[in-house]
Amino acid sequence: MSFSPLTSACSSLGVKSSSLIVQLGFHTAENNKFPGAFVSSPKRTKTKKFSIACSSTDPLLVKAARGDPVSRPPTWMMRQAGRYMAVYRKLAEKHPSFRERSETTDLIVEISLQPWEAFRPDGVIIFSDILTPLPAFGVPFDIEEVRGPVIQSPIRFEDDLKALHPIDLEKLHFVGESLKILRQEVGGHAAVLGFVGAPWTIATYIVEGGTTRTYTTIKSMCHTAPNLLRTLLSHLTKAISEYIIYQVESGAHCIQIFDSWGGQLPPDMWEQWSKPYITEIVSVVRNKCPKTPLVLYINGNGGLLERMKGTGVDVIGLDWTVDMADARKRLGSDISVQGNVDPAYLFSPLSAVTKEIQRVIKCAGPRGHILNLGHGVLVGTPEEAVAHFFDVSKSLNYDGSSQNHSMEESKLLV
């Protein structure tokens, strides 16, 4: 990638609006209609393996991820399909099992398209879970209503490793089928997003036996059984790499890697126990799918930004506790960023949401930025606020001159 230099990451950018000129490097679009305002009927037609080459017709999100010039910041939200939507809650009443909803092709497609039909985001992420592939390589799990994910046979001893086997992608056919259909449904109007969990994060569930607040078992294993843990992480790395390639070949334009619990490690421990395995995944996927952007998100990543960049991913996802301007200064101009509006802003007056979107975009600059929340959409979030978030983002266009100048050189016009 080659971006304009970012010597002053939150300087004025030169933004045009129909009613006033704001210093953000974008202006209100003349036609605020959403592109692709139709969804074709879900025909189950025969599909081919998707090409992974890039072109000028790539979705806006893919271009921004690569750092190419774009007309406006592409926008999507983590957990944009979920319980905050009335239509999802109604469906969940008929299908109360999360495993059923996330492992049945028709339901996956229907849920994934709910926010697309409502808001027209620039990214449509498959409705799934980071634990979905576990049974495909030998780790069965259940999801209980109160406890959440439960692994009845955690891996804590050498003999436990015997349960593991190479990933059987046939057991994940519903993921591939869903991605193919989603790619057909959204056409070229949005990017289809796949995702995986990072090896460390997946290992926390496998070792702890489910969710945890302390991570004491796996953290102690770093010292008491390091070879066992390395073996587990290496197995996960290979399985996750193959799973990513499978998603790309099934139709995903872009893949997000969630190292959700990587932020629970001290930076030096993350450098040892998470980074090498993510780096290996990036290398394997890059060799097979060189044009597919990879996003890395860690919850609580303020102390890890520079280390995250060292994995070789294309985009760093920022949580809302990181200042966008500071992140830009620390990461430099040769990598894209994603985020990072605080999800709680969506409970605020809409005018406050607008101002925060403008502030984040201003600080991110006109190249290499995907607008998103700093975490997933919260339960109870008003759908009106989500709609407003997308409306505001789609009403903004970068000033073309800002694409070729540093933010420091841009002039503030109000």
Of 25, 56, 114, which is closest to residue 362 (Cα–Cα)? 25
Q: Which two tokens stand for residue 53?
A: 């080459």
pTM of the predicted protein model: 0.86
Axis-axis angle for helices 226-250, 173-186 (nearest 10): 40
Please give the chain's pLDDT, 414 residues, in tens: 444 333 344 543 434 443 333 344 444 443 433 333 333 334 443 445 665 554 568 999 999 999 999 999 999 999 999 999 999 999 999 999 999 999 999 999 999 999 999 999 999 999 999 999 999 999 999 998 788 999 999 999 999 999 999 999 999 999 999 999 999 999 999 999 999 999 999 999 999 999 999 999 999 999 999 999 999 999 999 999 999 999 999 999 999 999 999 999 999 999 999 999 999 999 999 999 999 999 999 999 999 999 999 999 999 999 999 999 999 999 999 999 999 999 999 999 999 999 999 999 999 999 999 999 999 999 999 999 999 999 999 999 987 544 544 443 333 222
Map tokens 């995903």 to a residue.
252
Whether the CB-CB separation of 25 and 362 falls below 8 Å is answered with: yes
pLDDT score of 1: 44
Q: Which helix (H) or strand (E) holds 359?
A: helix 350-364
Q: Which two tokens stand for residue 67?
A: 């750092």
pLDDT score of 158: 97
pLDDT score of 322: 96
Q: Which two tokens stand for residue 313?
A: 């991913």
Domains of the chain: 60-396 (3.20.20.210)
Q: Which two tokens stand for residue 6?
A: 């970012």
pLDDT score of 144: 87
Q: Quick one: residue 368, left, alpha or beta (phi over 0 = left, psi -120 to 50 = alpha)?
A: left
pLDDT score of 21: 35
Of 174, 141, 165, which is closest to residue 246 (Cα–Cα)? 174
C-alpha–C-alpha distance, residues 294 and 154, integer Å? 29
SS3 24: coil
The bridge status of strand 191-197 relative to strand 123-125 is parallel
Whether the CB-CB separation of 188 and 124 falls below 8 Å is answered with: no
Q: What one-character DSSP code corresponds to residue 188? A: T
Q: Which helix (H) or strand (E) holds 295?
A: strand 294-297
C-alpha–C-alpha distance, residues 297 and 315, integer Å? 9
C-alpha–C-alpha distance, residues 119 and 115, integer Å? 6
pLDDT score of 44: 41
Bridge partners of 340?
372
pLDDT score of 33: 35
Of 121, 119, 34, 4, which is closest to residue 403 (Cα–Cα)? 4
Q: Which two tokens stand for residue 302?
A: 């303020």
pLDDT score of 49: 66
Q: Which two tokens stand for residue 226?
A: 């390091």
CB atoms within 10 A of CB 268: 9
